[in-house]
Amino acid sequence: MGPRARSSRRRSWTRALAVAFLPLIFSGFAPRPRPKLGLPGASAQPRPAPSSLFNWSHLTPLELEDRAAGLEPQSPGGRKPCFTLGGHKFQVFGGSIHYFRVPRAYWGDRLRKLKACGFNTVTTYVPWNLHEPERGKFDFSGNLDMEAFVLLAAEMGLWVILRPGPYICSEIDLGGLPSWLLQDSGMRLRTTYKGFTEAVDLYFDHLMARVVPLQYKHGGPIIAVQVENEYGSYNKDPAYMPYIKKALEDRGIVELLLTSDNKDGLQKGVLDGALATINLQSQHELQLLTNFLVSVQRVQPRMVMEYWTGWFDSWGGPHNILDSSEVLKTVSAILDAGSSINLYMFHGGTNFGFINGAMHFHEYKSDVTSYDYDAVLTEAGDYTAKYFKLRDFFGSLSGVPLPPQPSLLPKIAYEPVRPNLYLSLWDALQHMEEPVSSEKPVNMENLPVNDGNGQSFGYTLYETTIASSGVLSGLVRDRGQGYTRLRILVENRGRVNYGDNIDDQRKGLIGNIYLNDAPLKKFRIYSLDMRKSFFQRFSVDKWSPIPEAPTFPAFFLGALSISLSPFDTFMKLEGWEKGVVFINGQNLGRYWNIGPQETLYLPGAWLDQGINQVIVFEERMAGPAIQFTETPHLGRSQYLD
């Protein structure tokens, strides 16, 4: 392999030591040595748990020393099929938490709450677009430290089911696929098209070198790995899923492989050598889908990989909620049927920055910043009626007492921030890097920026000169606004993450734009990705006092002063219309007065004692102040009990 492939396998010496000595670390926590529990073969009878059907206190990453037999499907003669782990009968009680949607400082809090609710497993996706933002340049640091999250789950006594994609859906931009793939005009995503598989191979070379040591048989907590995601509902290339399965196995994945499909794709999503699982929300779907699984897989254990505890929201739509009693009934029915379960989501978190996805069936709808999902924990990690009912339910099934509930993180309503400085976008242009000059418009992904990788997120400004007035026409994705001297500001509001049209998700001006049917020429194009480095060029002397009639779009600068230790809070932008908020360089995400979301979650972990910089990019109308509240407002006044 070339230098890039070799360098992709490097990791810090501290991480390497942590992974290498994982089995020793775990066994050091174990209270006493245990005998070998491996199964001699698929026909072996599962060993009963020591005290009750649901007492798995001895089956945790800290306790289980024998790693010969991982999570395995078993079909004991005359009895219901089941999973075994380390030779013991085991049922997955899983909950989804995405490390990339939760501030790293709060990972432990969310995982402890999962464990205290009676769960034994955490599941997470791995977002390719965030981990490889530029081709061949990988980021597994800070909030993207996947290995640290997996190791922390193990310390909490939780197993891990990893869902590495490469496509993950997850209501994230382009379903987690990097936008630079779309630079290829002939790209066919999620197929064996050479341009796609070559990129997947390089990514998997790097990712799986990190994942392999974390597997169960290597002493880690990963007990299963999912092959792609809901491919049955896409199903454009019969060779694709076998290719992904082989790509995982060739790179050292040895744990149980799973597929995951909803009712639209289950029939076409089954893959030889992988256990099929189902995604659903109702008891009616449960019966239909489990009947199908039995017909296809015969006597194999059943698992609901995604039981949807709520749903995501789109701008301009309602805040979706699901009654907690309904959730309890369906979870109970799934377990009564002998199935394993994973709750999607246990804790949704936040689409910080510009990572949200979108849907486009009859019309385009982008997802809101909050990924609260009406999940078991709120966006800020607080308890809900669902949590208390599920904890009581799982507690009644457990042979040992559940861990105590962790205390809630405190919330606070800070004094309003009144911005006192301002910089219009037009004035800011002179402080930016030289724009791209092009005879024709260039879409975001094909702009010659970011070392040739194009622009993934944010806004792009197209500027040209026109000699007369007239009628403009052209294809703008997703939202464009025209200004004098013909300036067109285009926002990527989120690439579609699910459906047949993911190949067609290029953003910006797509092709020519016409004035009175004549194509315009000679464009100056500004890439406004609004990353941390973007604001570093706006030193204090570049800002001005806010005029009575600001020119929009514009940046507004204020300061949040905190005298004591910072706490979580929620920002409320009454009087503002649409834009983005940045705190100490962190992009909190978008706000938009069309709702349903009315507040932005601001983690206390991202605040400093003292002065905190607040920048608001507003497109059309600024309010007098930025308010704070202890309570989120996501579109409904309260949760249903």
The catalytic site residues sit at 230, 306
Radius of gyration of the CA atoms of the chain, in A: 25
CA–CA distance, 583 with 234 (Å, rounded to integer): 39
- Residue for token pair 């000679």: 522
Q: How far is CA 463 from CA 444, 472, 525, in A?
A: 14, 14, 6
Residue type, 348: G
**Residue 486 burial (CB < 10 Å; 0-12/13-18/19+)?**
middle
Asked if residues 62 and 105 have their Cβ atoms less than 8 Å apart, the reply is no
Report the relative pairing of strands 256-261 and 72-74 from DSSP bridges: unpaired
Closest to 218 (Cα-Cα) out of 8, 14, 18: 18
Token pair belonging to 202:
């390089």
Grouping H, G, I as helix, E, B as strand and the rest as coil, residue 376 is coil
> 454, 432, 452, 433: which is closest to 444 by C-alpha?
454
What count of residues does the chain have? 641
From CA 4, how far away is CA 447, in angstroms rounded?
24
Asked whether 414 and 503 are in contact (CB, 8 A), the reply is: no
The two three-digit tokens of residue 615, written as one number: 């920048």
The DSSP code for 200 is: H
Question: Which of 203, 200, 168, 173 has its CA nearest to residue 96?
Answer: 168
Q: Do the Cβ atoms of 206 and 147 come closer than 8 Å?
A: no
Whether 576 contacts 585, CB under 8 Å: no
> What is the phi-psi region of residue 119: left when phi exceeds 0, alpha when psi lies from -120 to 50, beta otherwise?
beta
| Cis ω for the linkage preceding 448 (within 30 of 0) | no
